Amino acid sequence: MTRLSTAFAKAHPALVAFITAGDGDTAANLDALVAGGADVIELGMPFTDPMADGPAIQEANIRSLNAGTTTADIFALASAFRKRHPDTPLVLMGYANPMTIRGGDWFASECNKAGVDGVICVDIPPEEDPELGPALRSAGIDLIRLATPTTDTARLPAVLNGASGFLYYVSVAGITGLQVAAQTSIDEAVARLKAHTDLPIAVGFGVRTPEQAANIARVADGVVVGSAIVELVATHGVNAAGPVRDYVASLKHAIVTARKASA
């Protein structure tokens, strides 16, 4: 059992929380996510052209890069987090360039040394898996793939081939944070994905309110929340830890309550 598989088995459903590395007081915000009840943490690697992200995360990327955040800084944050939180899974999420510029083997090795559990690379499709996939797998790092509303039955086997950790279902055909998918479409998509894989299915993009989180928790194995947390960091700056903890706690309460009600 890995940290990720343990987290999904234990929480069921898991709350997966995202923040951008280098935006605000990242160490304090990571601790706040754990204190609020996040089961899995995604740490965004800032990039100059975050094509999948909406305004909130784009602006967080800019703030982080303007502050001088480097890949070395991100691994230092991850390593320090692992010392403070030995059991909470940490996933790096980002884009191909920062992950592959020194070679996939280097990146995978650094992930392993820092105690990173998984990687989501938004812009390496399954066809380009050799760029990063073999290196991550040989280092014991889960490669978490994305499925979308346009991932049909013919495409799904390619997405699942070599995927591990969990499957991230992007609930809208668009960018993070702005749109909200109809719950019926999420229900149908999760059922379809579960027919093809035993990996946990986590649903994200556009999840903001405890009510939305609760509705997704009734059908999925995980609920991913990012932009709404990043907006709290934008509003509160280096003092965001308290508001982040309280917001995450409200999501966690809704998720736990929803799953108990449907049990």
Residue 51's φ and ψ, nearest 5 degrees, are: -65, -25
Residue type, 172: V
- Among 39, 42, 117, 231, the active-site one is 42
| Chain centroid to CA 215 | 19
Q: Is 53 a catalytic residue?
A: yes
**CA torsion through residues 166, 73, 22, 132, sign:** negative
| Chain centroid to CA 71 | 18
Distance CA 143, CA 117 (A): 9
What are the tokens at 219? 């059908």
C-alpha distances in Å from residue 204, one per residue of 48, 128, 193, 235: 22, 24, 14, 22
- Among 53, 110, 129, 231, the active-site one is 53
Name which of 38, 63, 77 is nearest 236 in CA terms: 63
SS3 202: strand
Residues known to be catalytic: 42, 53
